Structure formats: structure tokens, C-alpha cells
Structure 1
Amino acid sequence: MSFPELELGSWASDIRGRLVPNQSLAEITWFRVGGPAQLFFQPADEEDLGFFLRNLPAEIRVTTIGLGSNLLIRDGGLDGVVIRLSARGFGGAEVLGESRVRVGAALPDARAAAAAAEAGIDGLTFYSGIPGGIGGALYMNAGCYGTETRDRVVELRAVTRSGEIVTLTNADMDYRYRKSNGPAGAVFVSAVYEGTAGDPADIKNRMREITERRESSQPVKSRTGGSTFKNPDGHSSWKLIDEAGCRGLTVGDAQVSELHCNFLLNLGNASAYDIETLGETVRHRVRARSGIELRWEIRRMGHFVEGCEVREFLDGDVFTGAV
């Protein structure tokens, strides 16, 4: 499918970044599924981003995506504007002292950890075990192995929906488990993290151990979106999924990973409908067995294709997929 082209007006000629109508989003998400963006925008820098948002009519929807790791775009795509920051304009790292580093929102988490390690800044090693980029980590309070983003970030720089460049504190974000509550519509462009002084060799060794542990226990080389469901209080999602008999479960070409049950895989030709239906099937079976309702950690967005809508827990819908 495709969307009608957005008419922006004469001011669009002053944009220095990249504008692409009906850009396929399947090409840039880790699942490799999903429909197009009505208009795709990659700003040249934060001034270009601010100019764009100031001039964009308020009624046009704006969606920001990162590296596409923790994301499921539905098959009908996204209307309005989809913003994705480029590595060239937003992927830098700057050491600010013996314990602080500023990183761009388009920088992959693992590279942020590596930049801190190279400078002898300890405390960001957990990022070496998280797929995705800093922008997504700031938005969802990403974390693993006992440390979360909120434990290390001290300052964030963002561009608001009105185009204003603002500085936010950790407290402004009201961080919770896998959730933040910062300014609505703000696009994060960089952040300052604080760790502690450490030995680069020791930090790198621990990062290597995290990477090896992740690669041995998670399907990191598959088409996946990372951890699918949040851990309920006092429980591990993967154990609940396994106990409900969902290990290896398939819908179309989507599968629950046999290596780690909290990962969904695109075996090659899955649609977003297949993946989301599989996720809701898992939620249905876990609830039926344990009474616990799993919550999605992966962000799902966009339009369903008509006739291929997915209901929560499959409630009110007759499931006809291949399981």
C-alpha cells in the first residue's frame, strides 16, 4: 500500500535533511516487516530538526523511531511524518571528564558503552548487552543485568514538537520500569551520562563477558525485536511463556524462539500480522495457564491491513492462523 503525498509548502525547500515519501520501514526495522511511512525525514542536525518541527502543521502526526530493534511496524504503515536520526548528525560521543560522556541519540547502545570504556568511564557496561540506540534507551529506560538508563543519565537534550531545543534532567523524565514520562512529542538528540573512573582494560573485559553471555543465550543473529514482554512483578516472562507450552510456537513464518522464549522471530517471510498474532497467542496462553497478563515491551505502531486486525489476547476474535 501507499499513502497520498504530504504537501508541506514552500518552506520545505529550506530543509537540509532527507525527505522520502512512502519510505518502506521494513528495510530499517530488525524484524524486517511493516508498511511504509507516509513521509520519512532524516534531519541534518538538531537545528534542521527544529526548523522542520516549527514549520510542520500541528495536525500532522509525528512519530520518532530509533534503530528499529524494539519495534514492530504494522503492515499498513504509518501516516504522517516518521523521523529517524542519522548517525552522521546524531551519532557522536564526547568525553566530558573522568566520569561523564555525552552521546548522540542515534549512537548504538553498545558503541556508547565502548566509548565510555575507552575513556575509562565505568557504569555503562550494561549497554553492551542491549540492542538498539540511545534514543530508544532514553525513551523506554532500557536496562539489563541490574542497571537501567535512569541510573546513569543526568541530562538530556531534546527538540520539542514546537521546534524548541530544550535541556531536561533525569527527574524531568519520571523514569519507571521500561517507561518514561518526558515531554510529549519531544525528540531526544543527545544525553549526558555519569559513571565512575575505572580501568579501561577491566571495563572492556566485563563488556566482553556480557556480549558472550548474550550471544549464547539470545537469538541475536536472527530477525527479532529483542525482549518481547516486560517481566511481571516477581516473575520472568520467559519462564511463564515456557510453562505455557509456547517454546517454538509458530504463526505463519513467525516463531517463539527455542533459545529464549521471550524473543519472537521472523523466520524469513513473516508479516507484522503474523508476529503480533503470535505475541497475542502467547499472552492468551500465559493468562489461561497462570492468570498473569504479560505486557508488551516491544513498541507496536501503525495501521492494520483491513481484514488482518489483531485483538488483545485474541479476545473477541476468531483466530485462524497456523499454530
Structure 2
Amino acid sequence: MERPLLFGRDVRHIHCVGVGGMGLGPLAVYLVQRGFVVTGEDDALTADMETVLRREKVEIGPVGADCDLVVGSSAIARGHPACRAAVARGLPVVRRGELLAEILQDRKLVAVCGSHGKTTTTAMLVSALRHAHFPAGYVLGGLFADDTPPARAGSNDWVVAEIDESDGTIDGFKPEITVAVNLDWDHPDFYRQAADLEAAFGALFARTRGAVLVSDACAMSARVAAARAAGVITFGRSGEFRAEVTAETGERMTLRLGGRFPSGDAIVRARGDFNAANATAALAAARLMCADIAANALTAFPGVRRRQTVLDDAGGITVLEDYAHHPAEIRALLASLRRRLGAGGQLRVVFQPHRYSRTAQFKAEFAAALAAADDVHLLDVYAAGESPKAGGTSADIYAELKKNAPALSVGYFPAEDTGFFRALSRAVQSGDVVAFVGAGDVDRRAREWLAARRAERAAAGRWDELRAALQGRLSAATRLKREEPLAGKTTIRVGGAARLYAEPASVADLQALLREAKARGVEVFVLGRGSNLIVPDEGVDGLVVSLAHEAWATFEPGSDGRVRVGAGLRLKNLCGLATKAGLVGFEFLEGIPGSVGGALRMNAGAMGGWMFDVVDEVQVMSLEGKVSTLAKAAMHIDYRHCAELHHAIALGALLRPASQADAEAIGRQIDVYRKKRQESQPREPSAGCVFKNPPGNSAGRLIDECGLKGERVGDAEVSPVHANFIVNRGRASGADVLELVRRVRARVRLVKGVDLQPEVLLYGKAWEDVL
């Protein structure tokens, strides 16, 4: 095939920057078909696209010395090294849409355009034409789900191509036929107002030489098309080309055709009202091209990758991916997916917003659309080359959802946090549909989750084996549970379950637990009364050991005036028993909602007193099960920290009272402390002070001065009483609390220039993973 001139130049070799994209990749294939030498590069080239490009003779590599022209996708900045090098050599650098418009000038173009569904409509039209042996060329804006090439030159004058309006290159096209699937204000980064978008499509309709097909259900399309005197044809349920769904069975639907279609039924290998509209547009365009289209033209439609593509359907759970990235697309998608749910199934959505500008413009609409799901997991925005924009983050969608759909289960997982892997795996059950939605790399996360889920299922056998091995070595009094919920065992009452949970009844049982865990490489976490910690919603991957059995709650006064106490003794009970015994010095501990073991580990303090003020020695057990006694003088203790207990478990301590007095006098001092605490600290469920006090300052004061008292995410709130407390107003989740921690840190850093460090523990994870 003879190569055409491009931009008035004799071009032989074209280099594509961003060739892995769904717009530029298929165009590269078409250019090869038209006789050009084509090379390309992409920093994020997927295996699927690389396979297609190499099969179609597109060479992957840097720009060559004999290159005549460089084309970049809309996501490629002009400052890209390949573009800068091309400019330095005097080579033209154009955008994908500009080159597509140029290469199609000598063809009768069917331009498929609009906001939602143009890739599927283009693919359906191409499939119908191929079925009819109508040899039109085509350039798809994606990949077929089978091995059908994404582009072909064809052997007649017609070319079907997907036209993208997002970057303004739509102005270069002069179609023979325009198919506007629908119009919706999108790409606010380029079209600042809806009128700008309407003007762009109005000009395209005016340049169209033949028919303009528009949806009968789209008010904006009708408004834009009204300026054209003739040649506008409608499609849809009541359009001039009319089709209506009469049945859906398995993966196919039946369309009853009417109007300008010959009467009869068409079988389409797709489902849902929006796919019915896409198929109607495709079949109508084929008839306007005078192709002889049979009723079964779309019976074997292969589909398009990332358009309701089913990735897995094992165990009664359907996992799919979809490219929806606009609120209208998400609404239509979720409405369709509702019909796939099994009995008692839930619709669970993992959503990755695309571009900060779009997220800022439509965050409320995104939240409203996502509220149709039963469970939402938000990933960070896929930037697509944009810089972050205020109000345009996933956290903003999260806040909208928590405000307007408080009953909806929502999780937000920033950056590369894979916590949603575990949270989602714990939630899914037979009958569910899990949809990974978005136009970024959420498809990669979908495959990673499926791999992680398979690994988790294999790991579940390991937990069951560990439980079985331990049950034969533990006394009947020891409690051992799989997937034990932890939220109710914490003072803030949020979080997921422990993979394995134990309450040993003796030193020997605790040793057996630790030694078996050590032998199997299982991490051990100690849980006291659950204060000063936050459990993530996905729970804890390890063995959680709690000294909640009464055997650990001992209080034994000695003849020398000292007291030996067990690590499981509640601090409130310690104060009460000490008061009855006339022992002074423990009053400051009365209001701390913890146990002796936790107070030792964190050197708990209040009212000017610290736990180790009253400690002489501590009995500990190493994680290997060795018991020893450590004198206070040999231990490394400082603010909220005891080094020896970070890798060991406190079994109990020998405490030294300050003095003796009558119980009534001690009780009066406790009442003073209690009143002071009630006046200065919130009564709602909390984890205690969230942040450490910076040197010479107060975390609570800094947060208060930033105006954050009362700041909420869902039911998690910065306490109006004490700003260094985050309280649970009733239905807060771990994700709510963690998002509020992030928000507080960010505001204090911005306003005060101080990086607050968490004092509370993030149970089972590191703070670095989520901040």
C-alpha cells in the first residue's frame, strides 16, 4: 500500500511515545498497515499491548536516527526526553489525534465519538462489518478481548475510528458519518464549562459530510444536533433506528429491532441497557455504510478488554474489570452488575479515580454513583500526568461518601497500601460480584488481588494447621479462635479480626503458643485491654495473644510492703485493690483504660505520674518462651516506651508503693484525678492520645490551633474536648480513623510546620504503610 504524505512531508519512519496506551497503540498498528516503519516506547508497557505491537511489527525501543516524525499520546508532556530530542533535531512532534486525522484524510471516515461507550460501539461496528465481509479499515481505542487486531487498513474507502475529544484534536476530523454515542461534560481540565464541549461537538457535526447518528436518550446530543439543518438520525429505544432488549440469557441479550431497521431480532453477545444502546448505534452505522448486516452479526462479539471483562468466577464469586471513569458510566455499570448478583450476594467495588481535575469536578457525583454498591474500596487517583489538585483526591470522594452514605461500607487505601487486598478478601462471599473500576492501572491491582487471594486461601490452611497443632498442646482452659473480631476488644472499637487469637490460661500454655508460632514463622502480637492502639479494618495477620484469663489478673501484697501483680490486671482494679490495702502511689493510673502489661510496655502516664515510677522489677517471657526477671535499673525506659518489652511479653511486675495511708484519703485523691480527667478528656470510645507531644510543645494544642476540633471522617471525630483524641461517634471504621489521622497530620504540617508522630500503635502494621 502506497504511503500517503503526512503534513505535506514524505514520512517513512514514525516513532510513538506512549505506544502502550489504548489510543496510540492501535494507531501504531494502523500506521504499519499503511506502509510506515513504526517504532515506539512506553514506560508502562503492559504485556498484553507489547504482544500485540510485536505481532503487528511495531518495534519497541528508543527513537532511531532515521525517524521522520514523532507522535505522542495525550498523556505525554512536551518535556518528555524523546519529544525534546525530536525538537532538537527539527522533527515534527504531533499528538495522537492530529496524526489520526491526517492519516484518514483520504478515507471515508466513520467517526465514533462521545463520552461513554465509544470503544465498545466501535468494536461492535467493526465486528459486524467483519462478519459481513465488508472490508473497511478501522482503528479501535482499545484491545479486543480475543486476538482480533486493534486496527486494520482495510481494502475499501471506509475507515471506522474512535475519536477522542479530551485534548481538542477532535477539531481536525472531517467525517463521512459521525456516531455520537452520547454527550456528557467530561475532561474539565480541557473544557472549562459544558458549553465548550458542546461547541466542539457542534463543529464536528457541522463538518460531517453525511449522516450524524445521535442517541434519542441524550439531551445534550439533541441540543447540539439541533443546529444542523439535515442529516441527523436518532437511535435508541424510540429512535429512527430502534431497538429494545427483550431477553437476557447468560452472556447474551436479544434486541427487538424496528424503525429503519428491518423487523426482527438481533442476538448480541453483551448485556445491559448501555450495551444495548451501543449495539443499536453500531448496527445503525453499518446500515448507513450500506453493509449487508445479518441478525447474528454480533452473536460472537468478542468484547473489549476492561469492559465488564470477567477475570475470575471461581467459588461463586464473579470478579471483573471495567474502564468506567465518569459518574454516568459508573451508574450504568453498577445498575447492570446488580443483575449478576447471586442469592444474598453483595456488589463490591474497587474504584480508582482518573485525573485530579476530573475528581475535583465530579467528587460528589462519583460518591453518589458509588453509593449504589454495597461495599466500596477507594484507591488513590491515577494522575495521568496531572499534578495533584486541591479537592481532587480519593480522600475527598471518601469524605463525600461518609457524609452522604454513612451506612455504606467504605475503605480508603492510599498509595501502594495493599490493605484492601486483605479487607476485600475477608469481605467476599459466594454470590458476590467484585468490580475493579477505573481508567488507570486498577486492572493491575485486580490481578494482584486475585493472586493475593489465592495466596491467602493457601495461607488459611497454614492457620488451620497451626490451630490444630496447638489445640493438642494447650490446656482446656485456654481459648483459641480463628478469625476472632478485635474491634470489641479495643477502647476505640474499630478494626478487623485476628487470623488466630489466644487467651492462654498459664505460663506453660503461653510458652506453647510462642514456641509453635516461632517454629512456623508466625508473627505474635500482644493485646492488653485494647487501649492506645488502632486495629486496621483488614485485621491482623498473625497470632494475637491476650492475657485476659483471670490467672493473669493477680494482686498479691507482700510482707515487705511491695505488691506483685499480674500483667492482665486492669489498672482500674489495681487502683481499687491498692486503695483497700492503704497503698499510696497508684492513684494516677485509675483512669487509664488499660492493663498492667500494656502500661509497662508503653510506660503509661497521667497526672504527672508514670508506670515505672512504681516498678521495682518485671517478669518477662521472650518470644521464644524463656522466662526471666528484669530489675528496673537494667531496663531502658523513656517517654511512652520500654525497649525490653518490644520483643517480649510482660507476665507481671513487682510494684513499690510510695507510702501507706487510709483508704478514704487515697479515695479522695482518686476522685480529684477522676474529675480532672472527666473535664479534660472525652468520654466517647477512643484510643487515648493519638500523637506524641513534640519537644517543648503539645500535640493537642497544635491540632486545636489548626481549627481541627470537630473535624470528622464518617463517625471518627477529632474530639471537641481534647484535640489529641480521635473518638468513635458510633459507627466509625478503622479506615475512618486512619484517614482522620492523615488529615490531622497534613494540616498541622501545612499550618505549623510540625510533623506529628503517632503515639498510638497501628496494630499489625507499620504507620509508614498508611501515612
State how 1:111-150 maps to structure 2 within 5 Å. 111-150=573-612
SS in structure 1 of the partner of residue 641 of structure 2 = coil
SS in structure 2 of the partner of residue 14 of structure 1 = coil
Q: 1:292 is matched with which residue?
A: 754
Q: 1:20 is matched with which residue?
A: 481
State how 1:40-51 maps to structure 2 within 5 Å. 40-51=501-512
1:210 to 659, 664, 673: 673
Letter paired with 2:473:
D
Is the 1:62–1:185 Cα contact (8 Å) retained in structure 2?
no
Q: Distance in 1 between matches of 2:646 and 2:605?
A: 22
SS in structure 1 of the partner of residue 637 of structure 2 = coil
Letter paired with 1:24:
P
State how 1:1-323 maps to structure 2 within 5 Å. 1-2=425-426, 4-5=460-461, 6=463, 7-8=465-466, 10=469, 12-16=471-475, 17-56=478-517, 57-97=519-559, 99-182=561-644, 184-199=646-661, 200-220=663-683, 222-302=684-764, 311-312=770-771
Residue 12 of structure 1: how far off its partner (Å): 3.3
Letter paired with 2:747:
R
Letter paired with 1:46:
V
SS in structure 2 of the partner of residue 69 of structure 1 = coil
CA RMSD of aligned residues (A): 1.9
Is the 1:75–1:302 Cα contact (8 Å) retained in structure 2?
no
Residue 266 of structure 1: how far off its partner (Å): 1.3
Is the 1:41–1:84 Cα contact (8 Å) retained in structure 2?
yes
Residue 141 of structure 1: how far off its partner (Å): 0.5
Decide which moves more: 237-246 or 57-66: 57-66
Is the 2:528–2:594 Cα contact (8 Å) retained in structure 1?
yes
Letter paired with 1:208:
D
More contact order relative to length (CA 8 Å, sep ≥ 6): 1
Residue 190 of structure 1: how far off its partner (Å): 0.8
SS in structure 2 of the partner of residue 44 of structure 1 = coil
Residue 122 of structure 1: how far off its partner (Å): 1.0
Larger radius of gyration: 2
Q: Distance in 2 between matches of 1:286 and 1:187?
A: 35
Q: Which runs of 5+ in 1 are unaligned?
A: 313-323
How far does the alpha carbon of each residue in 1:83-122 deviate from its partner, in whole angstroms, 9 at most, with x for none? 0112412112111146311111111112112222221211
Letter paired with 1:51:
A
SS in structure 2 of the partner of residue 155 of structure 1 = strand
Residue 216 of structure 1: how far off its partner (Å): 2.2
Residue 47 of structure 1: how far off its partner (Å): 2.0
Q: Distance in 2 between matches of 1:40 and 1:175?
A: 29
Moved runs in structure 1, 4+ residues, more than 6 A? none
* TM-score (norm: length of structure 2): 0.39
Letter paired with 2:577:
A
Decide which moves more: 169-178 or 137-146: 169-178
Residue 202 of structure 1: how far off its partner (Å): 1.2
Aligned residues: 307
Is the 1:92–1:104 Cα contact (8 Å) retained in structure 2?
yes
Is the 2:495–2:537 Cα contact (8 Å) retained in structure 1?
yes
Decide which moves more: 246-255 or 54-63: 54-63
1:11 and 1:263, CA in 2 relative to 1: closer, same or farther beyond 3 A? closer
Is the 1:25–1:37 Cα contact (8 Å) retained in structure 2?
yes
Is the 2:503–2:546 Cα contact (8 Å) retained in structure 1?
yes
Letter paired with 2:585:
G
Q: Distance in 2 between matches of 1:310 and 1:162?
A: 27
Letter paired with 1:15:
L
Q: Which runs of 5+ in 2 are unaligned?
A: 1-424, 427-455
Residue 70 of structure 1: how far off its partner (Å): 1.1
